Amino acid sequence: MKPVADFDERRPIYLQIVELICRRVARGELPPGARLPSLRDLSQEMAVNPNTVQRAYQELERLGVAATKRGQGTFVAEIPDLVARLRRELAVRAANNYLRELESLGFSPADALRFLAERTKEGDDDLVGGGSTERK
């Protein structure tokens, strides 16, 4: 019964559902050809209006991530490079967020790159475990 997703209500909710599904596809949790939950199921799971889910599905279709088969439901599109494309798009978005955050702190793109190089040198364990707690 608990909603799986915490939405930021300052942004359109359907776009956040789109992002959530794109991320699931990029991670391989929803492979091409997989059936997306019905409008009713997803709307109850996320505690949002079914029309909002429908809007998200329409947007996914427009983006070429999903396709609706009449009478059968909505499926992850079966396009060969879909997963690779989404992974890349999400990586670019994460990189942009990182750059924007550093820029707001007064760092140049060169600084941002140097930080990344340093962080990567420190080893994988530290990257996974320590990355987000460092500032505390």
User: Site residues (CB under 8 A) for other proteins?
Assistant: 1, 7, 9-14, 43-44, 47-52, 55
Q: Shortest gap between Cβ of 8 and other proteins (angstroms)? A: 8
3-state DSSP assignment of residue 53: helix
How far is it, in rounded angstroms, from Cα 110 to Cα 136?
25
The closest of 26, 93, 17, 119 to 101, measured between CA atoms, is 93
For residue 67, give the H/E element and its range.
Answer: strand 66-69
Query: From the CB of 61, what's the least distance to other proteins, in Å?
Result: 17
Which CB, 50 or 73, lies closer to other proteins? 50
Compute the least distance from the CB of residue 24 to other proteins, in Å. Answer: 20
